[in-house]
Amino acid sequence: DVKVTQSSRYLVKRTGEKVFLECVQDMDHENMFWYRQDPGLGLRLIYFSYDVKMKEKGDIPEGYSVSREKKERFSLILESASTNQTSMYLCASKGTDPLNYGYTFGSGTRLTVV
Amino acid sequence: GDSVTQREGPVTLSEEAFLTINCTYTATGYPSLFWYVQYPGEGLQLLLKATKADDKGSNKGFEATYRKETTSFHLEKGSVQVSDSAVYFCALSDTGANSKLTFGKGITLSVRP
């Protein structure tokens, strides 16, 4: 089974801290994604990456950056955490095999910024 | 841009009731359509999908048919169980190699014994 692993299930950080959320996938997928999930708003795309060292802004990139130095790892960075970034963060990956456009999600990281 | 619209929630049903959750979409081209489910305290799981018009996706008693003429992908189940209580998300993705998922806002389903 494809696995997408997010390093932390719960995180509590202080306002102004630099925060790193890590995501690792084990199926050699080219595409990786970061979403945030908020009640009543669904999942919104923050950033995505089609290949190593490539990144594209999603719908809500403000206040975030990403890093993809290796194919299997996609990091989300909150440069200076704020309380409005308290949320559930979900990572996903997808291969480019046209016979199997499957997305696989990690279990999520619930971040609280105090 | 692409978008997905789900009905406002939450929805509360009695066990064995019939379920319909509406989903409509706006997209250019011919997207693939998905239903994802999130059980309490868990991550997102693919429930079913359909990749072209008139396809029917099905899984665990749930069904949804890709209706291009009405741009809809409504989720149905004939008899819900308490264990179906979860949040349900409709989503679409274009079919290019570098596609991405666009989600609806999700709807919470609670099933009473």
pLDDT in tens, A61-95: 999 999 999 999 999 999 999 999 999 999 999 87
- CB contacts of B100 in chain A (<8 Å) are 31, 33, 45, 48, 58
pLDDT at B110: 97
Chain B residues closer than 8 Å to A42 by CB: 6, 89, 103-106
Query: Facing residues of B12 across strands?
Result: B110
Contact B98 A96 (CB under 8 A): yes
Two structure tokens written together for B71 = 């741009």
Q: What is the mean pLDDT of chain B?
A: 92
pLDDT at A100 over 70: no
Q: Which chain A residues are closer than 8 Å to B98 by Cβ?
A: 31, 50, 96
Asked if residue A36 lies in contact with residue A61, where contact means CB atoms within 8 angstroms, the answer is no
Query: How does pLDDT run across A38-63, given as a tens digit for each residue?
Result: 988 889 999 999 989 899 999 999 99
Is B103 or A97 the better-scoring residue by pLDDT?
A: B103
What gap in Å lies between CA B8 and CA B94, rounded to an integer? 25
* pLDDT tier for residue B30 given thresholds of 50, 70 and 90: confident
Q: Which of B35, B45, B98, B102 to mutate to probe the A interface, most A CBs <10 Å?
A: B98
- Hey, how many other C-beta atoms are within 10 angstroms of the C-beta on A96? 15
The owner of tokens 């989720």 is B75
